């Protein structure tokens, strides 16, 4: 694990070439959320926020695997107000939600629809060799403003 920026609030995981990047990303995210005192959960709202973050990480990493030629890095950047999730991949083509007009009973193709519903905001920015998909969620009130303890 590498960190950039304020080490206690900005975590980076290199996923390129990693076997089972979705699983590793979820474990990495759980460790970060624990360091930031999102875990253990103290309320139903905090539990929902943690579950949403883990699902969002899974979706954007899985999309990079399926449509981006594999994920490059996962960055988690936490402030008192929001958590930003960033995943890079080598495909410069921006993702397009495919849920519109698709039968919701059919599997697959709903990842960005889920991202759009759970995230406060999300987007794409071009990279030197591909793109970065980012997602932001609000910090739960139970942990907002709480500084992490020693690691």
Chain segment 100-120, per-residue pLDDT in tens: 566 666 656 678 888 999 999
Each as own residue / partner, the long-range contacts of residues 144-150 (CB below 8 Å, 24 or more positions apart, any chain) are 144/80, 144/81, 145/80, 146/36, 146/37, 147/8, 148/8, 148/9, 148/35, 148/36, 148/37, 149/37
**Torsion from C-alpha of 143, 28, 89, 22, nearest 10 degrees:** -110
Please report whether residue 147 resides in a domain.
Answer: no
Rounded Cα–Cα distance for residues 24 and 139 (Å):
22
How many Å separate Cα 49 from the centre of its chain? 12
Please report whether residue 149 resides in a domain.
Answer: no
The overall longest dimension of the chain from CA atoms, in Å, is 49
Residues of the chain short of pLDDT 70, as ranges, are 1-7, 98-109, 142-151
Q: What is the CATH number of the domain that holds 55?
A: 3.30.565.10
What pLDDT is stored for residue 102 in this prediction? 60
What pLDDT is stored for residue 104 in this prediction? 60
What pLDDT is stored for residue 128 in this prediction? 87
Please report whether residue 146 resides in a domain.
Answer: no
Please report whether residue 65 resides in a domain.
Answer: yes
Please report whether residue 51 resides in a domain.
Answer: yes
Number of domains in the chain: 1
pTM attached to this predicted model: 0.85
């Amino acid at each position: 694990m590498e960190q950039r920026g304020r080490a206690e609030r900005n975590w980076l995981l290199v996923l390129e070439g990693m076997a089972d990047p979705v699983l590793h990303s979820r474990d990495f995210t759980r460790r970060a959320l624990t360091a930031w005192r999102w875990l253990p959960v103290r309320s139903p709202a905090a539990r929902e926020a943690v579950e949403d973050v883990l699902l969002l990480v899974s979706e954007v990493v899985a999309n990079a695997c399926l449509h981006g030629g594999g994920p490059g890095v996962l960055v988690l950047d936490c402030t008192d107000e929001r958590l930003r999730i960033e995943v890079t991949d080598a495909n410069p083509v921006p993702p397009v939600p495919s849920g519109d007009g698709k039968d919701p009973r059919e599997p697959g193709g709903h990842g960005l629809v889920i991202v759009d519903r759970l995230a406060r905001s999300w987007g794409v920015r071009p990279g030197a060799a591909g793109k970065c998909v980012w997602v932001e969620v609000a910090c739960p009130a139970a942990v907002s403003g709480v500084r992490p303890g020693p690691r």
